[in-house]
Amino acid sequence: MRSAPRRTSDLSKSLTPRTVGPGVNSNANPQVRGGCARRGGARVSSVSVDTTAPGAYTIGECARRSGFSMDTLRYYERLGLIDDVARTPTGQRRFSDEHLEWLGVLKCLRDTGMPVEQMCRFADLARSGDHTIGERIALLEDHRVAVDERMADLVAKRDYLLGKIDYYRSVLP
């Protein structure tokens, strides 16, 4: 059973990815083309993880909870959209509750059609601190305009389909 979708007010509480000192974006691969801005090296987090602790989710659990595929989670980590993913001693990823909150934001952006490049820009701005709030608002407003345009186009196409349905019903013998 899926939980109710987040309200806009819920999303606004989690519009910032986790940041942890100089290791922010530490799993990002600087060689990935079109990725988010890099901070620190392309190293794996050395955070020790209690794999039985609540909030230490495997990639499969994170995929189920977030609605993203495991491949997408790996891709977003390589791009730098997901930061500071801890690893077990055997190298398995462990995601936190904070990751899931941030993934909720990314899911909203992706599901509304925001390109990955803009998602990276948003993540970079969010990591940069409160002085970028104006830029974040502008980016989200531009995206909202694009969403509104797509919605208007879909409504027009739906109306066309309804007209066709009405026409075909009217000519039925």
Separation CA 19–CA 54 (nearest Å) = 20
Identify which of 164, 98, 109, 166 has the alpha carbon closest to the alpha carbon of residue 142: 109
Measured between alpha carbons, how far is 26 from 8 in angstroms, rounded to an integer? Answer: 29
Give the SS3 label for residue 93.
Answer: strand
Domain boundaries, the chain: 9-170
Alpha helices in the chain (DSSP H): 8-12, 59-66, 70-79, 97-111, 116-128, 133-170
Q: Rounded to whole angstroms, how far apart are CA atoms 75 and 124?
A: 17
The pTM (predicted TM-score) of the whole model is 0.71
CA within 13 Å, CB half, 80: 31
Distance CA 128, CA 122 (A): 10
Per-residue pLDDT of the chain (173 residues; tens, 9 = 90+): 444 444 433 444 444 444 433 334 444 444 445 578 754 433 344 445 555 566 799 999 999 999 999 999 999 999 999 999 999 999 999 999 999 999 999 999 999 999 999 999 999 999 999 999 999 999 999 999 999 999 999 999 999 999 999 999 999 99
CATH 3.50.50.60 for the 9-170 domain, yes or no: no
58 contacts 104 by C-beta, under 8 angstroms: no
What is the C-alpha to C-alpha distance for residues 18 and 55, in angstroms, rounded to an integer?
Answer: 14
What phi, psi does 125 have (nearest 5°)?
A: -65, -45
